[in-house]
């Protein structure tokens, strides 16, 4: 082995850095210099993200090249090789492989002209369509021509040594983002062994700057070999900056348990102190999404690398100067290692803690944020008013009366009684009576009550939590006093049958409540709703680790308490006065001292009063790749723009922190036109362009989910293993390839919410567009509080694909108090859905919401019965959605100022002569708009009648006009007694006026 000079070249868009350093190079390698660079202009994507630039000294039939490419991607020998003459563009016909592995590449190619040749060693098939990347790397190239191999005697080792030798001048990446340099340029095995041999400890701790995130788990970067074992860190920060750096742990000789860091105070030469309390290690300490602090134990397998990310919360009033101290690295059973630190604090205050510059990684502190966590009501709701004398709790539009046992005996929503009797927990056929109220904790937005009771076999503890939005959570803990067989634990909810008109969940879509129905846990199903547009109750059976919507990506196990290995289930029975919903858990055996917790949540509906004015005025422009409306489209009524991802303003899915200049410019431009702008920003998956992706990966699978890997080549080349691919978007200047976040609660929720706050302050957005998310109501509540605080009037609308969420109205019901609009419509087959399904699962009306249609342009006739249109100009299933014709009729009529009265209301004002034709009236002074649509299987003729007194019109003086609406209806006039023909699935939009 000999020590020689090698050149590492970084060529970025802005600047050129040349760093000379000594490296180890093996005898037998032909080259003495390697340069790493980025192409000034990206080459054709299909050739791959990396290439070597080879120099052929003279024209030859066969040329040998042998160079160290130091790669950490899997199976480099299985990839196709392409060598192109850079001057002529001709592809070399023959490539003869000698030795290909992660460390080196040795091969012969030819015939070759003198000069530069471009060696592409990771070509793949690009996918021009967004969705999921469908292709992969190209198959290995064909074997070289046998005659060429024979003529050049390539099987002869002596002949191989005498072949002309090409040199590798440069290893080049297609873009900065593709580059492996410097933290993914691997050390060779020989270099690694020599490096380890110089270390006295069983593991090596190396501090590293935040500018160079540690990326590889299975390899050491050559940068560390070159620098040697250096246990001193120097950094430079500004006052009030949240400063970050890393300590890399390499388990060189043994596996490590419980790796942790201890920090000393840092002192300046003037005696000033930077307290050890301002340090945190994100890998070992954190705050969960609900404000609870926790610690984690970090393990490192032998031969693996574990980055530890450290944050330093530098005070605003600290004096400038060089602060020095120590960090102690500890591991179970191993001697401590000491790292000295020198942090130079400049005499200037950084803006926004450094958050405006993602490379600083100051936003990592967002992972431990508690923003939006408090017990106060959101702006749209009022404080809980308690009358302890009669056990009544008053919320916005709701009254709840409790019995002695802490369960509701009466629930009213806007004066509509929902219950026909007390809700009961039944243990072995006996109603549980909570005899003793242990404590009550009351705040303006939350009331917590705790109760205790006893039976012959069980001690029972019950905790109820009532919140300002009508959400009530119960936890019932059973503690067995002895070995006992329990026949059943049940929840019984007696509904007023007059209220229990409709239901959804537990195996049923939105439907009329059946006379009888039973269900088990398969589905998935963990919840149900029973009610009508005046009152109802959503019930979620909880107890598992995951409480968010049951999406196809995540299939959590049902709660063991309720499921009981399939013995648990649900039943509902409707009678004339009472409709009883029962959740049962079945027979089980308890050992003495065994405990079991049953958890459930109620949500009283509707969560608020329907705001039809907002529905008819807040008209969405939703055009994924081109979110900027034309002037004539604004004139036609567009008011709100949803900026999807995968466009120039918001290119990277769920990481809107890169193209901020473009986004803010767009928001400013739209605001100048009196339009509001909301953006796509969710949490289910994360773009590979996220600056913090390597820090998140250092947390194991806390935030980034595990999986089989694969997918778009960038992921395979950099993440390599232990990830799950998700959304893929080909962009104008690159690719966005996301990976799936881990299911369940994680600190990424905290980051996400701080990100929302930052976007409101810095991008001036007007809210969010959510697309099938995985967090629960607690995160939505925090989100709404942030919106209310940072920008009152901001909005949230929620989209879901029913094929993905398996019934979004049911899955997302607990979100409803904090939403402004619904867009449930993907995979909805509107022409096949009965009216009750439309009302319950499409319209949002029973829950206090309204929505828009989606799939294949919806059904405009049926949609208008529920006040719904499509979103302009969304393209779906070959249909370009355009509701502007209906918008114009709305405006001509003045629908925003009307009162919407549907067929589902207690006192409808428009009546159809057929049950399978439904109508809704929009009533104004002096005129009424009627939307009528058919669910009949054939063309039918119907007559309409109105409650003329209620609408304030004289039947003998009115006329019925059908205004012309393109692709909806021709212009026509009807007399009041004339039959109106309606084709199947269609209808009319009629104006009744004097």
For the CA atoms of 378, 382, 387, 392, the dihedral, rounded to the nearest 10 degrees, stands at: -80
E strand or H helix at 901: strand 899-901
CA distances in angstroms from 252 to 197, 203, 246, 256, 268, listed in the order given: 10, 5, 18, 10, 35
Q: What tokens does 222 get? A: 């050559």
Q: Which residues of 118-129 are buried (b: 16+ CB within 10 A; e: fewer)?
A: bbbbbbbeebee
Q: Are 624 and 565 within one domain?
A: no
Q: What angle (nearest 5°) sits at the alpha carbon of residue 145, between those of residues 142 and 149?
A: 120
How high is the mean pLDDT of the chain? Answer: 93
Lowest mean pLDDT among 518-527, 757-766, 871-880: 518-527
- 28 pLDDT exceeds 50? no
Q: Are 628 and 642 within one domain?
A: yes
CA distances in angstroms from 481 to 433, 455, 593, listed in the order given: 18, 9, 6
What pLDDT sits at residue 524? 64
Q: What is the span of the domain harbouring residue 700?
A: 685-740
pLDDT digits (tens, 9 = 90+) for 58-112: 999 999 999 999 999 999 999 999 999 999 999 999 999 999 999 999 999 999 9
Q: Are 271 and 196 within one domain?
A: yes
E strand or H helix at 693: helix 693-697
Complete DSSP assignment for 347-390: EEEPGGGGTTSGGG-GGGGGGG--TT-SSSPPTTS---EEETTT
Q: Are 599 and 699 within one domain?
A: no
Domain for residue 767, yes or no? Answer: yes
Q: Are 219 and 319 within one domain?
A: yes
Q: What tokens does 211 get? A: 């500018």
What pLDDT sits at residue 129? 94
pLDDT digits (tens, 9 = 90+) for 126-177: 999 999 999 999 999 999 999 999 999 999 999 999 999 999 999 999 999 9
What pLDDT sits at residue 426? 95
- Give the closest residue to 66 by CA, choosing from 20, 19, 119, 17: 119
Paired sense of beta strands 588-590 and 484-486, if any:
antiparallel
CA distances in angstroms from 195 to 7, 19, 24, 230, 302, listed in the order given: 21, 21, 11, 12, 16
Q: Are 787 and 652 within one domain?
A: yes
Residue of 4 and 826 predicted with greater confidence: 826
By the 10 Å C-beta count (0-12 exposed, 13-18 middle, 19+ buried), 161 is classed as: exposed
Q: Are 550 and 629 within one domain?
A: no
Report the SS3 class of residue 796.
Answer: strand
Residues 242/365, Cβ–Cβ less than 8 Å: yes
Q: Are 600 and 616 within one domain?
A: no
Please tell me the total count of domains within the chain.
6
At 994, which CATH number?
2.60.40.1180
Distance of alpha carbon 753 from alpha carbon 750, whole angstroms:
5
What pLDDT sits at residue 6? 38
What pLDDT sits at residue 26? 30
Q: Are 848 and 906 within one domain?
A: no
Q: Could you identify the residue written with the tokens 């070289």? A: 144
- 16 pLDDT exceeds 60? no
DSSP H helical segments within 267-370, as ranges? Answer: none
What pLDDT sits at residue 772? 87
Paired sense of beta strands 242-250 and 204-209, if any:
antiparallel
Phi, psi of 77 (to 5 degrees): -70, -15
Domain for residue 379, yes or no? Answer: no
What pLDDT sits at residue 18? 30
Q: Are 717 and 773 within one domain?
A: no
Last residue of a domain, which of 178, 210, 226? 178
Q: Please compute the mean of the pLDDT values over residues 557-573 and round it to a whole number.
A: 93
Last residue of a domain, which of 127, 152, 178? 178
CA distances in angstroms from 558 to 168, 474, 646, listed in the order given: 58, 17, 36
The model's confidence at residue 56, banded by pLDDT at 50, 70 and 90, is very high
- 620 pLDDT exceeds 60? yes
- Give the closest residue to 566 by CA, choosing from 528, 627, 533, 520: 520
Q: Are 840 and 969 within one domain?
A: no
Distance of alpha carbon 34 from alpha carbon 24, whole angstroms:
12
Question: For residue 712, how many other CB atoms are within 10 A of its CB?
Answer: 23
Last residue of a domain, which of 870, 890, 910? 890
Q: Which residues of 938-955 are buried (b: 16+ CB within 10 A; e: fewer)?
A: eebebebebbbeebebee
Q: Are 600 and 676 within one domain?
A: no
Q: What tokens does 925 get? A: 């002074």
Q: What angle (nearest 5°) sits at the alpha carbon of residue 207, between those of residues 205 and 208?
A: 135
At 679, which CATH number?
3.20.20.70
Question: For residue 880, how many other CB atoms are within 10 A of its CB?
Answer: 12
Q: Please compute the mean of the pLDDT values over residues 186-215 and round it to a whole number.
A: 96
Domain for residue 374, yes or no? Answer: no
Domain for residue 183, yes or no? Answer: no
- 285 pLDDT exceeds 60? yes
| CA-based R_g, the chain, Å | 34
């Amino acid at each position: 082995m000999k020590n020689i000079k090698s050149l590492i070249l970084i060529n970025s868009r802005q600047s050129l850095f040349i760093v000379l350093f000594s490296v180890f190079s093996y005898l037998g390698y032909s080259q003495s210099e390697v340069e790493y660079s980025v192409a000034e202009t990206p080459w054709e994507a299909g050739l791959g993200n990396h290439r070597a630039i080879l120099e052929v000294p003279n024209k030859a039939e066969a040329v040998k090249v042998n160079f160290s490419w130091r790669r950490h991607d899997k199976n480099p020998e299985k990839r196709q090789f392409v060598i192109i003459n850079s001057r002529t563009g001709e592809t070399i016909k023959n490539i003869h492989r000698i030795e290909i592995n992660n460390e080196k590449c040795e091969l012969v190619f030819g015939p070759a002209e003198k000069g530069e040749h471009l060696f592409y060693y990771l070509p793949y098939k690009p996918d021009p369509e967004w969705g999921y990347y469908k292709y992969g790397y190209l198959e290995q190239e064909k074997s070289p021509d046998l005659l060429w191999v024979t003529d050049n005697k390539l099987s002869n080792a002596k002949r191989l040594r005498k072949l002309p030798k090409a040199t590798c001048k440069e290893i080049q990446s297609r873009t900065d983002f593709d580059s492996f340099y410097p933290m993914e340029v691997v050390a060779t095995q020989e270099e690694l062994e020599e490096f380890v041999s110089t270390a006295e400890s069983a593991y090596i701790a190396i501090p590293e700057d935040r500018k160079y995130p540690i990326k590889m788990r299975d390899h050491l970067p050559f940068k560390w070999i070159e620098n040697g074992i250096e246990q001193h860190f120097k950094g430079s920060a500004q006052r009030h900056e949240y400063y970050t750096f890393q300590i890399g742990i390499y388990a060189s000789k043994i596996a490590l348990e419980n790796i942790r860091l201890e920090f000393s105070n840092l002192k300046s030469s003037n005696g000033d102190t930077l307290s050890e309390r301002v340090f945190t290690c994100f890998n070992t300490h954190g705050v969960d999404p609900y404000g609870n602090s926790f610690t984690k134990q970090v393990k490192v397998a032998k031969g693996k690398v574990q980055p530890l990310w450290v944050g330093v919360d530098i005070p605003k009033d600290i004096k400038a100067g060089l602060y020095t101290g120590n960090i102690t690295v500890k591991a179970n059973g191993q001697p401590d290692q000491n790292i000295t630190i020198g942090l130079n604090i400049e005499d200037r205050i950084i803006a926004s803690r450094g958050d405006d510059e993602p490379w600083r990684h100051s936003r990592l502190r967002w992972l431990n944020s508690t923003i939006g966590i408090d017990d106060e009501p959101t702006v749209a709701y009022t404080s809980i008013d308690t009358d302890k004398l009669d056990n009544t709790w008053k919320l916005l539009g709701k009254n709840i009366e409790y019995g002695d046992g802490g369960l509701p005996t009466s629930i009213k929503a806007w004066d509509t009684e929902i219950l026909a009797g007390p809700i009961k927990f039944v243990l072995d056929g006996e109603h549980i009576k909570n005899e003793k109220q242990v404590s009550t904790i009351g705040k303006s937005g939350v009331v917590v009550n705790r109760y205790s009771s006893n039976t012959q076999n069980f001690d029972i503890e019950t905790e109820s939590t009532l919140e300002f939005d009508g959400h009530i959570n119960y936890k019932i803990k059973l503690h067995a006093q002895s070995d006992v067989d329990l026949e059943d634990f049940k929840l019984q909810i007696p509904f007023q049958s007059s209220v229990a008109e409709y239901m959804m969940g537990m195996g049923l879509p939105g439907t009329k409540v059946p006379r009888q129905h039973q269900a088990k846990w398969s589905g998935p199903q963990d919840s149900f709703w029973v009610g009508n547009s005046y009152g109802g109750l959503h019930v979620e059976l909880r107890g598992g680790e995951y409480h968010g919507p049951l999406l196809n990506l995540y299939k959590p196990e049902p709660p063991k308490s309720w499921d009981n290995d399939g013995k648990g289930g649900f039943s509902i029975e409707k009678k004339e006065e009472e409709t009883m919903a029962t959740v049962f858990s079945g027979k089980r055996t308890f050992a003495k001292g065994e405990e079991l917790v049953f958890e459930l949540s109620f949500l009283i509906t509707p969560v608020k009063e329907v705001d039809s004015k907002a529905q008819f005025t807040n008209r969405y422009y939703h055009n994924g790749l081109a979110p900027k409306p034309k002037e004539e489209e604004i004139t036609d009524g567009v008011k709100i723009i949803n900026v999807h991802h995968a466009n120039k303003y918001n290119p990277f899915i769920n990481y809107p922190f890169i193209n901020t200049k473009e986004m803010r410019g767009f928001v400013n431009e739209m605001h100048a036109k009196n339009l509001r702008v909301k953006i796509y920003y969710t949490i289910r998956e994360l773009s590979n362009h996220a600056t913090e992706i390597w820090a998140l990966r250092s947390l194991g699978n806390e935030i980034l989910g595990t999986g089989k890997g694969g997918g778009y080549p960038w992921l395979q080349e950099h993440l390599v293993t232990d990830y799950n691919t998700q959304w893929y978007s080909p962009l104008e200047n690159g690719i966005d390839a996301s990976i799936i976040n881990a299911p369940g609660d994680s600190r990424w929720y905290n980051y996400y919410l701080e990100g929302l706050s930052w976007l409101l302050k810095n991008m001036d957005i007007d809210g969010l567009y959510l697309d099938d998310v995985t967090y629960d109501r607690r995160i939505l509540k925090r989100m709404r509080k942030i919106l209310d605080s940072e920008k009152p009037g901001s909005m949230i609308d929620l989209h879901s694909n029913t094929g993905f969420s398996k019934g979004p109205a049911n899955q997302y019901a607990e979100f409803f108090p904090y939403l402004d609009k619904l867009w449930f419509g993907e995979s909805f087959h509107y022409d096949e859905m009965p009216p009750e399904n439309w009302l319950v699962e499409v319209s949002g009306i029973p829950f206090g919401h309204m929505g828009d249609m989606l799939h294949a342009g919806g059904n405009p006739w049926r949609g208008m019965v529920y006040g719904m249109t499509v979103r302009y100009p969304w393209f779906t299933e070959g249909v370009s959605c355009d509701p502007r014709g209906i918008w114009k009729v709305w405006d001509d009529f003045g629908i925003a100022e009307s009162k919407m009265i549907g067929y589902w209301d207690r006192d409808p004002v428009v009546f159809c002569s057929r049950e399978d034709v439904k109508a809704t009236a929009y009533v104004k002074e002096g005129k009424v708009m009627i939307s009528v649509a058919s669910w009949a299987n054939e063309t039918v003729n119907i007559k309409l009648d109105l409650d003329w007194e209620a609408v304030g019109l004289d039947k003998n003086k009115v006329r019925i006009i059908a205004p012309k609406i393109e692709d909806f209806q021709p212009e026509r006039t009807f007399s009041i007694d004339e039959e109106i023909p309606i084709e199947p699935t269609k209808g009319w939009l009629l104006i009744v006026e004097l």
